[in-house]
Amino acid sequence: MPLIELIRRDLTAKPATLLFIAALAGVSNALVMAIINNSAGLYEDALDLRTVALFVIVVAIYVLSQRRMMQITATEVEEIIHRQRSSLIDAVSRSDLLPLEQVGRGNILASVIRDTQTISQAANLLVIAAQSVILVGLAMIYIFITDRTAFWLSTGFIAIAVFLVIRRLIDLRNRYPAAMMKENQVFESMRDVLDGFKEVKLSSARRDALLRDMARVSIEARDAKADMQVKSGNEFVFGQTMIFLLLGLVVFVVPSFGNTEPEAVVRTATAILFIVGPLSMVIQAVPMMAMANAAADNLMRMDRVLREIVAASEVAATPPQTLTSFEEIRLDGVAFAYAPVGGVSFGVGPVDLTIRSGELIFVTGGNGSGKSTLIRLLLGLYHADRGMIRLDGKPVTRGSFETYRSLFSAIYADYHLFRRLYGIEPPDVAEFDALVKLMEMGGKVALQGDLFDTIDLSSGQRKRLALMVSMIEDRPVLVLDEWAADQDPQFRRKFYRELLPMLKARGKTVIAITHDDRYFDVADRRVAMEEGRVVRIVDNRDARIEDDARIEDEDGEDPA
């Protein structure tokens, strides 16, 4: 059972200690029943202080053991969830991008958020149910001592009822994964609404179609979960009915046997009434157990999938180092192809390209030409199917990619701006103020330690802030994917004519994806792509040399 396996694997408390406390709570609860049941028929003028004292002691033992059990359970379960959640997040952070994209963000978020919440909510209920089982067992022993006939009839009836309940709950257990799959699709639809908010606002047709699709998915999830909840409710009613029938059996059927005393029938009926609540708790816990079990299974399966991804990406990994310089990066016949979708496949390469330190390179081409995929290959986010990357003549292997990636900082088209300077030493006040002035962000943002006071800025300002972070990070290579697309014309010109030359003058290697053909002359080289291939490389430096030579010749002409 996945839930038991998960708890057993990560439990820090000693199982024997937990069993002892649970048994103590169950036994003390049963003793409360026995004391009340045995004392209820006694009519004495004097109060039996010994019985009262025993009653108080047993209740105190129950309260203390139950509270301690709840405390241990809450602490242990939340610690298990914390470790499992941390394990998933760690695995995600160390996974390769492509297989992570194939797993899907919605599925990962569902495991981290929904499945852990399901297990957390079920924990205390399951502990109470376990104690209730102990109480029911002890109550049945009490009934056995009180009246054998009532015991055997009750035991047979309970066995039949449990068999029927478990049989009926098999279908409920099988419905849970399908319902959760529908809920995962709702997660994905919400991502489309939130991540694509601007695109949705621009097209009422897109909005209406998206909302229709989301409504369809939400209705399917609603129906699947409602069906599961109705089924769960029916099982609870069925279980309650079995309890009432058991009580009727004791009250109406047992006395028909001639050897049963009326006082025994009363005590047996009282014992059954006393365990009605615990029996209801056990019945209620069964569907919750099924849901928590499915959640644990999904959580452990996601953990296995991510660990396999990590294991595949970290084969023969060498201890990572931080590189601060390089001479050249060479792509030798690098090729990559996505898995076919609907019989159609797209790939990039083979690409032969040399990037030298201090160069300013533009990557150009139409949408779908492979620019972003090429950048992901260059950064080591995707691994080439063929060919290799060489750093200063040495092949970059799977085990050395983390060291290789330390050369780069990047601002992607779908970049994420962090509120903190994670992993980056904060600059001094003067350096930050100079960057603020350079990016024309005065009064827009401030840095408090390693925390920005706000990132609630316009899209263009957010990109400027992201560029400031990259400049603070100060890595040898800066990769920019359509950085200027959100800038106003004035700052766009400043970016191409001032900022990029300034970065180059500081020794930075800049690789920028761009469509701004009016500024192509800024680059040292322009790599043009079509349909996944590099179709030409334009070297602007040759033209500049010719222009400089022509200007020198013109300046040297005799004015006469």
Q: What are 262-298's pLDDT values in tens digits?
A: 777 777 777 777 777 777 777 667 767 777 777 888 8
Which of 128-137, 385-394, 522-531 bottoms out in mean pLDDT, i.e. has the lowest? 128-137
Locate CATH 1.20.1560.10 in the chain: 2-313
Q: Has residue 246 got a pLDDT over 70?
A: yes
- Residue 390, helix vs strand vs coil: strand
Q: What does 247-296 look like in DSSP terms, one character per residue?
A: HHIIIIIGGGSTT--HHHHHHHHHHHHHTHHHHHHHHHHHHHHHHHHHHH
Where, residue-wise, is CATH 3.40.50.300 in the chain? 328-556
pLDDT value of position 549: 46
Query: What value does the mean pLDDT of the chain take?
Result: 81
| β pairing state of 525-530 and 533-539 | antiparallel
- Selection from 23-37, 156-170, 213-227, 420-434 with the highest mean pLDDT: 420-434
Is the per-residue pLDDT at 233 higher than 50?
Answer: yes
d(CA 274, CA 397): 69
Q: What is the pLDDT of residue 269?
A: 77
317 pLDDT tier (thresholds 50, 70, 90): low
Which pLDDT does position 200 carry in this prediction? 67
pLDDT for res 36: 77
Residues contacting residue 187 through CB under 8 Å, at least 6 positions apart: 106, 109, 110
Q: What's the pLDDT at 559?
A: 40
* Integer Cα distance of 195 and 363 in angstroms: 26
DSSP conformation letters of 155-172: HHHHHHHHHHHHHHHHHH
Residue 340 predicted with pLDDT over 80 = no
> The domain 328-556: what is its CATH number?
3.40.50.300
CATH 3.30.70.1450 fits 2-313, yes or no: no
Highest mean pLDDT among 240-249, 250-259, 476-485 belongs to: 476-485
Top-confidence residue, 195 or 81: 81
pLDDT band at 494 (very low <50, low <70, confident <90, very high): very high
Torsional sign, CA 66, 71, 75, 81? positive
pLDDT band per the 50, 70, 90 thresholds, residue 377: very high
Contacts within 8 Å (CB) and 24+ apart, 505-510: 507/357, 507/358, 507/476, 508/358, 508/476, 508/477, 508/478, 509/355, 509/356, 509/357, 509/358, 509/359, 509/360, 509/361, 509/476, 509/477, 509/478, 510/359, 510/360, 510/361, 510/477, 510/478, 510/479, 510/480
pLDDT of residue 511: 96
- pLDDT tens per residue across span 496-535: 999 999 999 999 999 999 999 999 999 999 999 998 899 9
Q: How sure is the predictor about 555, in pLDDT bands with cuts at 50, 70 and 90?
A: very low
Q: What is the pLDDT of residue 299?
A: 83
Token pair listed for 430: 């003067």
Please, which residues have CB within 8 angstroms of residue 316's CB and are 6 or more apart in sequence?
397, 398, 399
Spatial distance between the Cα atoms of 473 and 410, rounded to a whole number of angstroms: 11
Residues 512 and 480 sit within 8 Å (Cβ to Cβ): yes
Q: What local confidence, expressed as pLDDT, does residue 224 receive?
A: 78
